Amino acid sequence: MKVRLEFDIDPAEAQRVTPLLDAFKDFVDALNSVDLNKFTPYPDSDPCLNGDTPNSTPPREHRPPRQTRQRPRKRHPPLDNCDRLFAAVAQARVPVKRAASQLQQLMARPEQPVAEHHVVAAATSELVDPSKVCNHPSRAANIVHTLSACGDSLLQRFSNSFTAEAAHQFSKPRHIHCDRAQFLGYSDGLATMVQQAVITADTAIDLVLNLLRSTPSWTAAVTTLCKLAETCEPPLEARVQDLKKLTCVKHLLVDVANSAEYSYDIQYLNGITGWNIPLSNLNKQAKQR
């Protein structure tokens, strides 16, 4: 390597820069006297060039990633008997498919299989329990779906038994201000079976007609008819084969509408079905008040 220095000095200032020139000459002489072969070359791998520094802190020990706590799986209630099974499926705490599978296992187990009449009794008891009828909007549908998934034989046995028991319960004389929860489960069950085509709409309308012909049964008749109207889709007019039955129902409802206590039921029924059951003058006055 060569370094060349040039100075442009005015003659008048030569004496002032003489010491500076002498210093440069001494510096150059010193460089020329250095033996470069005495210096040790750098090693091929310099720790400083690799990002390491002498006496640096050793790298931290590798630790496995922290395991997050897994949420416990949702445990389904035990379904070791029919009562628990239908209580769980009615509240939608277990899927219908799982409940149906478990029910089939209970009925087919080698030791002490559950008989069909026990299944029907357990399903009916859960469906009509007055303390549970308002707990879940799909409780009747869940129970009927579970029975339907277990075969036509079981479903037919349930529908026959339930319809007969419902007719018996509806026919009991009741006060006009009675607690409808006592038979609401039967109304809900009948409407659900009509909706799922387990029984025909004509069968349910025949039952309502018989109830409307007896004044003590009006409350059960109107409640069941409202349940049929709000549950069935398509509506009753599209389901009933004999439309004369519906015409007869409407005529009988005119007598019911004369009682102010049933004004809400008649208005509710008119709103759902589009019927025009007239309210009596006395009923209209009570409504205005």
pLDDT of residue 12: 65
pLDDT of residue 282: 47
Query: Cβ atoms within 10 A of the Cβ of 43, count?
Result: 8
pLDDT of residue 18: 73
| Dihedral over Cα of 147, 153, 155, 161: its sign | negative
**Residue 102: which pLDDT band, with cuts at 50, 70 and 90?**
very high
Mean pLDDT on 49-56: 52
Does residue 280 have a pLDDT over 70?
A: yes
Bigger pLDDT: 4 or 191? 191
Does residue 55 have a pLDDT over 70?
A: no
pLDDT in tens, 124-144: 999 999 999 988 999 999 999
pLDDT of residue 268: 95
| Residues across the chain | 289
pLDDT of residue 29: 73
Q: What is the pTM of this model?
A: 0.71
Q: Where are the alpha helices (DSSP H) in the chain?
A: 14-32, 82-90, 96-108, 116-128, 139-148, 152-170, 181-195, 201-212, 218-231, 236-239, 243-257, 263-273, 281-288
Mean pLDDT on 167-180: 93
Asked whether 286 and 247 are in contact (CB, 8 A), the reply is no
Asked whether 196 and 141 are in contact (CB, 8 A), the reply is yes
Mean pLDDT taken over the chain: 85
Which 3 state secondary structure label does DSSP give 12? helix
pLDDT of residue 54: 52
Token digits for 264?
């809400």
pLDDT of residue 221: 97
pLDDT of residue 180: 95
Bigger pLDDT: 140 or 25? 140
